[in-house]
Amino acid sequence: MAGSVLRFEARTVIRRSASEVFERLADLPGYRQWMHRDGVFGDTELTSALPVRSGTTYVDRTRMGRFVGEVTEHVPSTRLAFSETFSMFGRPLTQARPSYVLVVEGDSTVVQHTAEAELYGLARVFKPVVARLVTRERSHTLASLERSFERSPETE
C-alpha cells in the first residue's frame, strides 16, 4: 500500500576512508558509543553471533519499544542495509528499512542514507507524526556518525 510508506534520503561527506565508515556502521554493538542520546535510540544488542554480516540479527531498544532487526545487505566498504520491525501485542506496526551506500570521493566518503518505513494497521493514522520522527532520527544518525569521526583520532 503506497500510502503507508515513508521515505527519507540524505547524504553527508565524511573525511575518512569508506572502510572506516563502513566498519563503524557495521559495528552494531558499538552504536552506543557514537549514536546521539537525545532521540529514541537506546541500545543495540546482537541476537546472533559475530561477525556482523548479511543475516545477522539484532534488537534495537528505543524509547518506543523494541525493533527486531536483521542485516539484509553487507558489502564491505560499499553497502549496508537493514530491516527492522516494531510490533505491539504480537502485531507489526512498522517495518523500517534503513540503508547506506558509501562512495569514495578523493580522501573522503560520501554516505548516501535512505530509510523507508512501512506503516501497518493503526500506525497509519499516525503517519504525519511518524514522518517527522523518521526525519529527525535519521538526520540525527547521520550527524552523530559524522561527529564521531570528527572527535576520533586519525589512527583509529
CATH of the domain at 68: 3.30.530.20
pLDDT on residue 154 = 52
pLDDT on residue 105 = 96
HSE-CB at 154 with a 13 A cutoff on CA atoms is: 3
Instruction: Note whether residue 99 is domain-resident.
Output: yes
Q: What is the 3 state secondary structure string of 70-108?
A: EEEEEECCCEEEEEEEEEECCEEEEEEEEEEEEEEECCE
Mean pLDDT, residues 63-91: 93
Total count of domains within the chain? 1
SS3 call for 146: helix
pLDDT on residue 1 = 40
Instruction: Note whether residue 85 is domain-resident.
Output: yes
Write down the mean pLDDT value for the chain. Answer: 90
Residue 109 exposed, middle or buried by CB count within 10 Å (0-12, 13-18, 19+): buried
Residue 2 reports pLDDT greater than 50 = no
**% of the chain exceeding 90 in pLDDT:** 72
Instruction: Note whether residue 117 is domain-resident.
Output: yes
Domain that includes residue 20, residue range:
2-150
Instruction: Note whether residue 38 is domain-resident.
Output: yes
Q: Under a CB-based contact definition with an 8 Å cutoff, are residues 100 and 111 in contact?
A: yes
The DSSP call for residue 126 is G
Looking at per-residue pLDDT, the higher value among 125 and 65 belongs to 125
Instruction: Note whether residue 122 is domain-resident.
Output: yes
Matching residue, cell 569521526: 149
What is the model's pTM? 0.90
Tens digit of pLDDT for each residue in 22-54? 999 999 999 989 987 766 677 899 999 999 999
Confidence category of residue 122, pLDDT binned at 50, 70, 90: confident
Residue 104 reports pLDDT greater than 90 = yes
Instruction: Note whether residue 156 is domain-resident.
Output: no
**Beta partners for residue 70, in sequence order:** 57, 83
Instruction: Note whether residue 42 is domain-resident.
Output: yes
> Can you tell me the distance from the alpha carbon of 35 to that of 148, in angstroms, rounded to the nearest whole number?
8
pLDDT on residue 64 = 77
pLDDT on residue 63 = 77
Select the highest-mean-pLDDT range: 39-48, 60-69, 97-106. Answer: 97-106
Instruction: Note whether residue 155 is domain-resident.
Output: no
pLDDT on residue 3 = 60
